[in-house]
Amino acid sequence: LLDPSRFVVFITGATSGFGEAAARRYVAAGAKVIATGRRKDRLEKLQAELGAGNCHIIELDVRDRAGLEKAIAALPAPFDAVNIVLANAGLALGLQPAAEASLDDWQTMIDTNISGLVYTVRLLLPGLIARGGGHVVTLGSVAGEYAYPGGSVYGASKAFVKQFALNLRSDLQGKKVRVTNIEPGLTETEFSLVRFKGDEGKASAPYSGTKAMTAEDIAESIFWATSLPEHVNINKIELMATTQAIGPFDIYRE
Ligand code: NDP
Ligand code: 8X3
């Protein structure tokens, strides 16, 4: 396994859920992390917990391409030697049928899950290559593989991420940069609270009476994929809660 004390991990969406759990997992193993997100108070709390020597924080909206560019160019040593990119920031908004969904919500998902993710990867990739290699981890979803009612643009954005990750592998042939797309199913984080815009009743429903995965489960799979010896590339990891399965096709009858 690789020595995690040599990892410098740039994480988008480290204020909650998978990104926050991954920051903790990497620092516990001796790595350095750059934790980013829009909520400054949460970043400061995380940095206080993990230590400023291990955790550099940047208040950042991944949709802000110029801001992202500036922040990456201004990374101080040793946080400038990024060798793992965890392109995790993302969200689902709404679960309405396509004809009733909000176009503003669709735009936000496209801007964040697609544009923000490609900005992050594209801006950090040359540094990874120049430093002799590294690892790009993208956050896809089972929603990028399987359709469900109301999944529309969210699922499509994750299908984009899946194909982007595969295509990255083609372009990175011989560059010693690995690429892994993580494709989780039901996992209890703030994901549903965001999807249902703060409605706690609606947000808790997907997790009630069942055992969803946790952010720590996903962080562990990310950490594992990046710790494997350099000659091994995990293309994708699709994980579901044991309590979640795939349903039958939906047949409409008169
Ligand atoms: P959370 O809502 O708990 O965390 C999402 C993170 O993304 C937050 O840190 C948030 O930070 C950040 N984020 C959202 N928008 C932006 C933005 N414009 N700029 C910067 N950061 C942003 O959700 P999860 O941890 O569950 O989700 C993480 C990723 O995993 C997402 O891409 C999600 O689609 C995906 N996923 C989640 C699953 C689940 O069931 N939970 C399953 C499969 C995939 P802040 O608001 O502070 O900016
Ligand atoms: C999140 C999982 O099934 O709620 O990507 O879309 S799901």
> CA angle, 135 as apex, 238 and 62 as ends, to 5°?
85
pLDDT-derived band at 65, boundaries 50, 70, 90: very high
CATH 3.40.190.10 given to domain 4-239: no
Which residues is 181 bridged to in the sheet? 138, 236
The strand pair at 32-37 and 55-59 is best described as parallel
162's CB contacts (< 8 A; 6+ apart) are 140, 144, 145, 181, 183, 236
Q: What is the structure's pLDDT at 72? A: 98
Q: What is the structure's pLDDT at 178? A: 98
Residue ranges covered by each domain of the chain: 4-239
- For the segment 194-222, the average pLDDT, to the nearest whole number, is 97
ipTM: 0.98
Which residues is 244 bridged to in the sheet? none
DSSP string, 203-223: HHGGGTTS--EEHHHHHHHHH
Question: Which tens digits make up the pLDDT trace of 5-31?
Answer: 999 999 999 999 999 999 999 999 999
User: Which residues have any ligand 1 atom within 6 Å of their CB?
Assistant: 12-19, 37-39, 60-63, 88-91, 112, 116, 139, 141, 184, 186-187, 189-191, 194, 215
Mean pLDDT of the chain: 98
* Ligand 1 geometric centre to CA of 159 (Å): 16
Which residues is 182 bridged to in the sheet? 139, 237
Nearest ligand to the CA atom of 45: 1
DSSP string, 46-107: HHHHH-TTTEEEEE--TT-HHHHHHHHHTPPTTTT---EEEE----------GGGS-HHHHH
63's CB contacts (< 8 A; 6+ apart) are 111, 112, 115, 116
Q: What is the structure's pLDDT at 201? A: 96
Q: What is the structure's pLDDT at 102? A: 98
Q: What is the structure's pLDDT at 204? A: 97
Q: What's 186's DSSP letter?
A: S
249's CB contacts (< 8 A; 6+ apart) are none
* Ligand 2 geometric centre to CA of 77 (Å): 37
Structure tokens that stand for 128 in this block = 């990874």
Q: What is the structure's pLDDT at 172? A: 98
Burial letters for 83-97: b for 16+ Cβ neighbours within 10 Å, e otherwise? Answer: bbbbbbbbbbbbbee
* Ligand 1 geometric centre to CA of 139 (Å): 9
Question: Which tens digits make up the pLDDT trace of 105-127?
Answer: 999 999 999 999 999 999 999 99
144's CB contacts (< 8 A; 6+ apart) are 155, 156, 157, 158, 159, 160, 161, 162, 183
**Using CA atoms, how far apart are residues 114 and 129, in angstroms rounded to an integer?**
22
Q: Are 176 and 162 in contact (CB under 8 A)?
A: no
> Phi/psi of residue 171, each to 5°?
-75, -20
Atom number of ligand 2 nearest to Cα 154: 6
Question: Which tens digits make up the pLDDT trace of 163-193?
Answer: 999 999 999 999 999 999 999 999 999 999 9
- For the segment 146-166, the average pLDDT, to the nearest whole number, is 97
User: Cα–Cα distances in Å, from 203 out to 85, 154, 165, 188, 189?
Assistant: 29, 16, 29, 10, 10
Residue with the smallest CA separation from ligand 1 atom 32 is 90
Catalytic (active site) residue 148: no
Structure tokens that stand for 240 in this block = 């579901």
Atom number of ligand 1 nearest to Cα 187: 40
Residue with the smallest CA separation from ligand 1 atom 44 is 141
